[in-house]
């Protein structure tokens, strides 16, 4: 599915396959090998038609790792984004499983977690995203100390732990955060509004295809035959869609010509055009009102202490007018980058860009603190940071954003925690490194030689150490491929590992009970039991699973496929029959869309 200039979905290809018999839903029958075969045929057809190698740069999918794995198998250098709707759906499903909404303090926790999720989805800096998670953990721990809200706070901590362990690895974060959209825009050379955040176009088209186009060809509610389906898609449905788009475009042109010359017609037609929403960029233009508001923020001391990071300075600003459900002032996260970029989590910056009152106050505060530390000859990390200057206009800020995004792709360091040792040599070395780069004008310097620190785990929370190194994928005939393309491969691996971890925990939970029960089961009793087949099936599956787990733990080569035993059984049962058996028709009944309850 593609998107045209009117932001309407355009079908590019129909990939048709049937789910295995007995599946409760078609989506659970997705098979990576089948998807790879279909995508390879599509790639070859596109390359042959255009006489040029077909290499899509960016794609967006839901959270299904089989689809993502198939795309990476066929297009190794593709950058994969995750649909925000499916992402938030998984997060909401996990919250529902905790069932904390109806206990004391549950509404407050729900409001906090919703704010946290919004901040994470719109985050553009990995360090700031992790700091937001740590702040949430600290607030929930404080609330857990109060007996009235302890139960809700503990469940809130469980959800934050789920977010951090499952979704907050560096590579996976780049797929679902706002940073991923910025990267996709820089890689493809399109404006940020052209990078769609969801797969809603595809989901909507699937509904129209099933309930409008295919419904006309079904008889008595039965499924359309495969040969009829392929013929209808190629000769009837696809041409009718493009014909409808052409007629709509001709109608728009006709209406515009009909209104030409009428008073105010051109302005009216221009206002009806959908204006693109650009991602906010920071630039400092004269604004007396916002300067006055920034001075008021400084006078009331609403800014927190600045935290020096490897790539910039982070601050928090407590709002003067906005409070959350618990009555606490909302804290906005401010980022001032050494590369002349800045961001704020307030609505003013997200909707308008430029420099909001919080960014203006933060710049004044950082400059004043730096000058004060220099005059008093203090060896604080802020002394060794370069002077932060924002672009003067929007055009310069847009050029700088593309430049900074490529800088990130070429090896920008990950998160470094400096809260415990702000005066240590590590922070000073980092700051000196950036000062030298700024003086030499080389923002794209090679940082591979600088050691990278991991994120420090919190006291009680099981936070994963996140690798910020990006896997590089090279292709002999692709010189200008982005260096960070291998991040999607690492992100898929992180997603599959986290998902499998939850499945293994679910398997391990009843193991002690099974051990205790086996002590009371004798062989002779099981021989005459109707449940013996289930025990045999479980033993066979565990025998197949154990060597595969051991092989992964030992970093061994590919282990035997999980269907080895089943294949041997089928072969032994069908040795006497050498005739080719045709594949029967799918026994599946007609399926209807069901609400997702999965948190993966």
The 3-state secondary structure of 526-561 reads HHCCCCHHHHHHHHHHHHHHHHHHHHHHCCCCCCCC
Indicate the burial class of 231 (C-beta count within 10 angstroms; 0-12, 13-18, 19 or more): middle
**pLDDT for 362:** 92
**Residue count (the chain):** 600
412 half-sphere exposure, CB direction, 13 A CA radius: 24
**pLDDT for 25:** 59
Q: Is residue 129 within 8 Å of residue 173, measured between CB atoms?
A: yes
Q: Is residue 211 within 8 Å of residue 430, measured between CB atoms?
A: no
**pLDDT for 591:** 59
CA 534 – CA 543 distance, rounded (Å)? 14
What proportions of the chain, in percent to the nearest 5, are helix, strand and coil? 55, 5, 40
CA 135 – CA 127 distance, rounded (Å)? 12
CA 585 – CA 225 distance, rounded (Å)? 10
C-alpha distances (whole Å) from 44 to each of 49, 50, 61, 75, 238 are: 8, 10, 22, 12, 21
Which are the contacts of 302, defined by CB distance < 8 A and separation ≥ 6?
Answer: 317, 318, 319, 320, 361
**pLDDT for 14:** 87
Place of tokens 């001391």: 301
| pLDDT tens-place values along the chain, 600 residues long | 888 877 888 888 888 877 666 555 555 567 788 889 989 998 998 888 778 888 888 999 988 888 888 899 999 889 999 999 999 999 998 888 887 767 887 788 888 888 889 889 988 888 888 888 988 898 888 888 888 888 888 888 999 999 988 898 888 998 999 888 888 887 887 777 788 888 888 888 888 888 888 888 887 777 788 888 889 898 998 898 889 888 988 988 888 888 777 777 777 766 666 555 556 788 988 899 999 999 999 998 888 888 888 778 888 888 888 776 566 778 888 888 888 888 888 888 887 888 999 999 999 999 998 888 888 888 888 888 888 888 888 888 877 765 554 444 333 333 333 333 333 333 334 443 443 443 333 333 333 333 333 333 333 434 334 333 333 333 433 334 443 457 888 888 888 888 888 788 888 888 888 888 888 788 877 787 888 888 888 888 888 888 888 888 876 444 444 443 333 333 333 344 455 555 555 445 555 556 666 666
**pLDDT for 273:** 61
**pLDDT for 412:** 38
**pLDDT for 81:** 93
Element of type H or E holding 488:
helix 487-508
* Partners of 81 in the β-ladder: 60
Q: pTM score, two decimals?
A: 0.61
Q: Is residue 116 within 8 Å of residue 130, measured between CB atoms?
A: no
Indicate the burial class of 554 (C-beta count within 10 angstroms; 0-12, 13-18, 19 or more): exposed
CA 455 – CA 128 distance, rounded (Å)? 12
DSSP string, 554-600: TT-S----TTHHHHHHHHHHTTT--SPPPPPPP-PPP----------
- Provide the token pair at 172: 């996976």
- Provide the token pair at 39: 């995508």
**Rg, the chain, Cα only:** 28
β-bridge pairing 329-337 and 58-61? unpaired
* Partners of 336 in the β-ladder: 313, 342
* Partners of 129 in the β-ladder: none
Q: Structural domain boundaries of the chain?
A: 2-84+177-245, 288-390+418-449
**pLDDT for 363:** 92
CA 415 – CA 437 distance, rounded (Å)? 19
- Provide the token pair at 104: 């004391």
Per-residue b or e along 45-57, where b marks 16 or more CB atoms closer than 10 Å to that residue's CB: ebeeeeeeeeeeb
- Provide the token pair at 126: 């990995």
């Amino acid at each position: 599915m593609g998107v045209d200039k009117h932001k309407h979905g355009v079908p590019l290809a129909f990939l048709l396959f049937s789910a295995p018999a007995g599946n409760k839903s078609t989506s659970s029958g997705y098979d990576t090998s089948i998807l790879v075969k279909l995508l390879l045929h599509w790639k070859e057809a596109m390359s042959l038609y255009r006489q040029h190698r077909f290499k899509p740069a960016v794609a967006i999918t839901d959270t299904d790792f089989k689809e993502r794995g198939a795309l990476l198998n066929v297009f190794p250098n593709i950058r994969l984004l995750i649909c925000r709707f499916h992402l938030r759906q998984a997060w909401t499903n996990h919250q529902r499983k905790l069932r904390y909404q109806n206990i004391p303090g549950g509404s407050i926790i729900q409001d906090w977690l919703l704010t946290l999720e919004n901040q994470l989805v719109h985050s553009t800096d990995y360090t700031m995203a992790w700091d937001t998670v740590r702040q949430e953990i600290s607030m929930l721990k404080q609330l857990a100390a109060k007996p009235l809200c302890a139960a809700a706070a503990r469940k809130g901590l469980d959800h934050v732990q789920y977010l951090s362990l499952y979704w907050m690895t560096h590579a996976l974060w780049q797929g679902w955060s706002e940073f991923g959209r910025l990267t996709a825009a820089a890689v493809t050379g399109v404006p940020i509004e052209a990078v769609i955040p969801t797969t809603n176009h595809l989901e909507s088209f699937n509904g129209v295809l099933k309930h409008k186009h295919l419904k006309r060809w079904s008889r008595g509610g039965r499924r359309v035959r495969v040969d009829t389906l392929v013929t209808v898609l190629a000769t009837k449905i696809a041409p009718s869609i493009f014909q409808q788009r052409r007629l709509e475009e001709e109608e728009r042109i006709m209406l515009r010509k009909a209104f030409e010359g009428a008073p105010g017609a051109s302005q009216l037609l221009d206002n009806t055009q959908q204006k693109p929403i650009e991602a906010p960029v920071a630039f400092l233009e004269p604004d007396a009102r916002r300067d006055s508001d920034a001075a008021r923020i400084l006078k009331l001391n609403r800014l927190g202490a600045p935290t020096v990071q490897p790539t910039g300075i982070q601050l928090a600003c407590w709002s003067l007018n906005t409070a959350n459900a618990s009555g606490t002032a909302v804290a906005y996260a401010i980022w001032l980058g050494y590369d002349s970029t800045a961001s704020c989590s307030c609505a003013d910056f997200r909707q308008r860009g430029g420099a909001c009152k919080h960014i203006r106050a933060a710049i004044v505060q950082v400059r004043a603190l730096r000058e004060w530390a220099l005059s008093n000859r203090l060896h604080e990390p802020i002394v060794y940071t370069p002077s932060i200057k924002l672009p003067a206009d929007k055009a310069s800020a847009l050029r700088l954003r593309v430049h900074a995004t490529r800088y990130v792709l070429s090896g920008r360091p990950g998160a470094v925690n400096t809260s415990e040792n702000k005066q240590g040599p590590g922070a000073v070395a980092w700051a000196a490194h950036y000062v030298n780069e700024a003086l030499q004008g080389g923002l794209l310097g090679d940082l591979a030689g600088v050691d990278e620190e991991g994120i420090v785990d919190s006291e009680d929370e099981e936070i994963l150490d996140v690798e910020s190194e990006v896997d590089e994928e090279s292709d002999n005939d692709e010189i200008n491929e982005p260096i960070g393309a291998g991040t999607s491969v690492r992100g898929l691996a992180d997603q599959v590992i986290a998902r499998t971890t939850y499945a293994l925990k679910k398997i391990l939970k009843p193991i002690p009970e099974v051990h205790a029960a086996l002590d009371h089961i004798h062989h002779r009793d099981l021989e005459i039991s109707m449940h013996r087949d289930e025990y045999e099936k479980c033993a066979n599956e565990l025998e197949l699973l154990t060597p595969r787990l051991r092989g992964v733990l030992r970093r061994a080569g590919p282990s035997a496929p999980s269907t080895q035993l089943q294949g041997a059984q089928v072969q032994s049962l069908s040795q006497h029959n050498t005739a080719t058996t045709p594949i029967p028709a799918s026994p599946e009944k007609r399926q209807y869309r069901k609400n997702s309850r999965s948190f993966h």
